[in-house]
C-alpha cells in the first residue's frame, strides 16, 4: 500500500480523492497548492503524487517542475489531474516531467489501478 500525496485547491475534490484512495487502502496526504505540496513532499516522502493543475500560489506544473529538483521527487510518479485539455499545457507537462495527464472528473477505479501500477 502506498503513500499518496493528493493536491487540489478544491476542498470537495480533495475529500473525494482522499476517500477514494483510502478505500483502496492507501495512506493519503493532502495539500491545497503547490507550495504546501512541496512541503508535504519533503516531510512525508510519498510514493506517488496526484495534483491539480490550476491552483493559487503555485500551480501543478510549477510544483512538478520544482519537485523534480528535490531528492524526494526525482523519480517520483506525479500525475496531473485537471479539467484542462489544451495541448500547450500537455506539452508543458511533458517538459516539466509530469508522469501522466488525467482528466477530471476522475474515475476512482482508474485512479486506484494507476496508483498500483505506478507506485
Partner 1 sequence: MDDDEDFEALFFSETRELLDALQEHLNLLADDEGDSETVHAAFRAVHSVKGGAAAFGFDRLIAFAHIFETVMDRIRSDTLMLDPHVAQILLRSGDMLQVLAENAEAGTEDKPVDGLQRLQQELEVLAGEREDGDIVEEGAPEPAPAEAAAPAEPEPSEEEDDTPALKEIVCRITPEEPFFESGHDILRLIRAAREHGLTTIHSEGDVPNIAEFDPRICTLTWELTFQTDQTLSDVEEFFGIYAHTAQLDFFQPGAEDDIDQDAEAQEESPAVQETPPAKSAQTAPSQQEKPPVGPAAAGAGGTNKPKAPAAPPNAARGADPNKSLRVEIARIDRLVNLVGEMLITQAALAQQITYGDEHQVSDMAHSVDAMSRQLRELQESVMAIRAQPVKSVFRRMPRVVRDLAEKLGKEAKLELEGENTEVDATVIEELSEPLTHMIRNSMDHGLEGNDDREAAGKPRVGRIKLAAEHKGERVIITIEDDGRGVNRERVLAKAIERGLVSPEDQLSPEEVDMLIFHPGFSTAEEVSAVSGRGVGMDVVKKKIMALGGRCSVVSTPGKGAVFTITLPLTLAVMDGMTIAVGDQKYILPLSQVVEALRITGESGKRLPDGSSLLERRGEYLRLLSLRSALDLPPRDSTDQMAIVVDTETSGHVALTVDELIGQRQIVLKSLEANFHKVDGISGATILGDGQVALILDVQALVRMQGASAPIEETFH
Binding residues for partner 1 (CB under 8 A): 9-13, 15-16, 19, 52, 54-56, 68, 75-79, 83, 85, 87, 90-91, 93-95, 97-110, 113-114, 116-118
Neighbours of 42 (CB within 10 A): 13
Residue 6 CB, nearest approach to partner 1 (Å): 14
Contacts of 29 (CB under 8 A, 6+ apart): 3, 4, 5, 6, 40, 44, 46
Tell me the C-alpha distance between 98 and 103, whole Å.
14
Our CB check for partner 1 shows the closer of 43 and 104 to be 104
Our CB check for partner 1 shows the closer of 4 and 76 to be 76
Residue 113 CB, nearest approach to partner 1 (Å): 8
Beta strands, E only, 54-104 = 78-82, 100-103
**CB-side neighbour CA atoms (13 Å) of 99:** 20
Residue 16 CB, nearest approach to partner 1 (Å): 5
Nearest to 2 by CA among 95, 104, 110, 112: 112
Our CB check for partner 1 shows the closer of 10 and 27 to be 10
Our CB check for partner 1 shows the closer of 15 and 39 to be 15
Residue 43 CB, nearest approach to partner 1 (Å): 19
Amino acid at each position: 500500500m502506498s503513500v499518496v500525496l493528493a493536491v487540489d485547491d478544491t476542498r470537495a475534490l480533495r475529500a473525494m480523492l482522499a476517500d477514494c484512495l483510502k478505500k483502496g487502502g492507501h495512506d493519503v496526504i493532502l495539500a491545497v497548492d503547490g507550495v504546501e505540496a512541496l512541503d508535504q513532499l519533503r516531510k512525508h516522502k510519498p510514493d506517488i503524487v496526484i495534483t491539480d493543475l490550476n491552483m493559487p500560489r503555485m500551480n501543478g506544473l510549477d510544483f512538478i517542475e520544482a519537485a523534480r529538483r528535490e531528492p524526494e521527487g526525482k523519480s517520483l510518479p506525479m500525475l496531473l489531474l485537471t479539467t484542462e485539455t489544451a495541448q500547450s499545457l500537455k506539452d508543458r507537462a511533458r517538459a516539466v516531467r509530469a508522469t501522466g495527464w488525467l482528466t477530471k472528473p476522475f474515475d476512482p477505479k482508474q485512479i486506484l489501478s494507476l496508483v498500483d501500477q505506478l507506485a
